[in-house]
Structure 1
């Protein structure tokens, strides 16, 4: 694997910012998380902020995610030659410049129209994977095409929400293979939506407005399901007409494929939303389903949402290729274990037999360093890149992750290390 040439990506990024500063130009995207979050909130609508930044219940799992990172402190070593550093890794056949991925975030259209295309562009510019959201705001084929336009063969994964309709699952798997996915990330922790007060207090469910269902409305199998449901309806109850209902219908008409005016009156528009809400996820999902997935795809299978060591053992026994230690960014279960605390317990159990990734609460390059030292092969970035997207579109999403990678590189060297793959628990202490 090629090494990152001195002075390293961190110093290059610093120098670029400081040179621009000589000319009076400040970064559009803040380089610290607190200011990034503050600016993003100002840039987002109330509904967008509630959905992207909100958590389950009282938000204690989001607090636990940060507490788990803060309890681990880096113990730098000195007088080591760190003039050349290597932040690269290999992951499922892809050579990556850094152990960082863009996490899937649903309903990105709340932040920017066709958000997934913009995020894909950002990821392709950096050469790191984007895990396409199953609840995305653009068809996966459009995102893949944009990534290949920027960098042919850009790494990308697909996040699978396991529908109650098995034909739709197979269709998503086939499309993911066709558009060049390197892996399938099966989300396990959202077989039903968690209790999310920020959305509930606004009565805001993006999917009810057709925001974030583009993978479905672009799918031929899903469209067939909608058509069958329409034929089966004999006596449909007349909907209540209110100003809010009219605004929802307008949103649906804008987000469903096809001419806006036609969508306003087409029965398929509302039925597409109703169909999505009734079939998007299956609460009965179990280990037998995961075991059978190997017969349905030859792509690497990664299970997203593992938090217990016994589930990690079961994943290995089931024959999957990797796991993502995740509590969905604190959006599903209030009072859950912090993701990095879970990682600390799970990594020794896995012991290198399958790939281990982590998300939830990862904000900075120092956070990524800690996750790698605790045994993760890579870290996934969620809310921060969405904050960058809100502030400055694709460039903002790219710059946020660029800054995280730059800080990782500097933290690596300043702590006395030269390769991310060599990090282990000796680099940390717990307070």
Structure 2
């Protein structure tokens, strides 16, 4: 069949393995986009983007959690015109999907309207794949936000990477002592919001909220929005999936500010489920990277188109014709959402 490859057969020169699912050169799922990107990216680069912390339970939990939420189909409803557009911060988009902030992308002149503050990285998580296959930036790329602030030479690991790889507490303390202000700050508190308010007129979005109490504090302290995120499972491995905490976080916010969501989204139906459970906007991170690795801008457009068609189809089969009509009653969770209980 034209356009289908079976790499196992190509490499062996023999017959194809019937247990291997062929991957389309013209992918029709996000999973296929990832497989194609993996073939094109150097191992260190793929590992950097794909790995999670420790045993990667949180990474897998983010994806698997969607299989424990079911969409309840409704029948005999007019879904001849399904509208997937939504509005946030006065900006209308054709899909309730945006690109999550992802490190190591070279960006310029993008017309930023909001400042996203990552609040869940006082230190880097224990990313084993990164430690075993270190990512060395090519000569034409640099970490612009810490230019000339890091003592390491070109081709050497950053201070953050050295700290992540420290084998003893004493070694970590010595690295911190020498690092000064060139690493993720473990000193940030809620006062950072006041400081940022004095420094910028942009909207301030806090990324990395998992606890309902932190969501309430974000509202009280004046954040313009929050992102329910566990950093793609790259920080603390023994955390719940973002989908499991989303309903309680959204309940804590109580509609006062937008709730953005990321973590494990691989299908348009995942977008539907996240919105039903309280998200105003869904962010995708790794799928964008896979699209770039697969075919640059065209690859990213492929990812967006796949999610758009899947979302539209899910809405029609669920009897929903607009994003505003996606309510919690449209889905069923097999487990109770996770929140923080008072002792």
- CA distance, structure 2, for counterparts of residue 377 and residue 326 of structure 1: 14
Match of 1:189 in 2: 120
CA displacement at 1:188 relative to structure 2? 0.6
Q: Tell me the residue number matched to 1:65.
A: 62
Contact preservation (8 Å) 1:29, 1:392 = no
Give 1:299 deviation, angstroms: 1.2
Q: How does 1:36-185 map to 2 (within 5 A)?
A: 36-107=33-104, 136-138=105-107, 140-141=108-109, 144=110, 180-185=111-116
**Corresponding residue number in structure 2 for 1:213:** 143
Q: Is the 8 A contact 1:29 1:391 kept in 2?
A: no
Maintained 8 Å contact 1:29/1:396: no
CA–CA distance in structure 2, aligned partners of residues 277 and 429 of structure 1: 49
Alignment partner, residue 404 of structure 1: 307
C-alpha RMSD over aligned residues: 2.7
Q: In 2, distance between residues paired with 1:329 and 1:425?
A: 24
Q: What whole-Å deviation, never above 9, does each CA across 1:228-278 have from its counterpart, x for those lacking one?
A: x9xxxxxxxxx9xxxxx8x827x99xxxxxxxxxxxxxxxxxxxxxx9995
Which residue pairs with 1:262 in the alignment? none
Unaligned runs of 5+ in 2: 5-23, 159-177, 335-343
Q: What TM-score do you get using the length of structure 2 for normalisation?
A: 0.79
Find the counterpart in structure 2 of residue 33 from structure 1: 30
Q: Tell me the alpha carbon deviations over residues 74-132 of structure 1, each in whole angstroms, 9 at most, x when there is no partner.
A: 0110110001121111111211111100112212xxxxxxxxxxxxxxxxxxxxxxxxx
The answer to whether structure 1 residue 371 and structure 2 residue 301 are counterparts is: no
User: Partners of 2:123 and 2:145 in 1: how far apart?
Assistant: 18
Is 1:381 matched up with 2:288? no
Cα separation, partners in 2 of 1:351 and 1:300, compared to 1, 3 Å: same
* Residue of 281, 306, 320 corresponding to 2:223: 320
Once residues 31 and 212 of structure 1 are traced to their aligned partners in structure 2, the CA distance between those partners, rounded to angstroms, is 34
> Does the Cα contact within 8 Å between 1:366 and 1:411 map onto a contact in 2?
yes
Maintained 8 Å contact 2:63/2:266: no
Q: What residue in structure 1 maps to residue 261 of structure 2? A: 358
CA contact (8 A) 1:77 1:416 kept: yes
Q: Secondary structure at the match of 1:248?
A: coil
Q: Runs of 5+ in structure 1 lacking a partner?
A: 1-20, 108-135, 145-179, 218-222, 230-238, 240-244, 253-274
In the TM superposition, 1:241-390 aligns within 5 A as 248=155, 278-390=181-293
Separation in 1 of the partners of 2:98 and 2:179? 27
Question: CA-to-partner distance for each residue in 1:28-65, whole Å, 9 max, x for gaps?
Answer: 45222333322222111110111011110000001221
Give me the whole-angstrom Cα distance separating, in 2, the residues matched to 1:292 and 1:102: 26
The Cα offsets for residues 356-377 of structure 1, whole Å up to 9 and x where unpaired, read as 0100111110000000000100
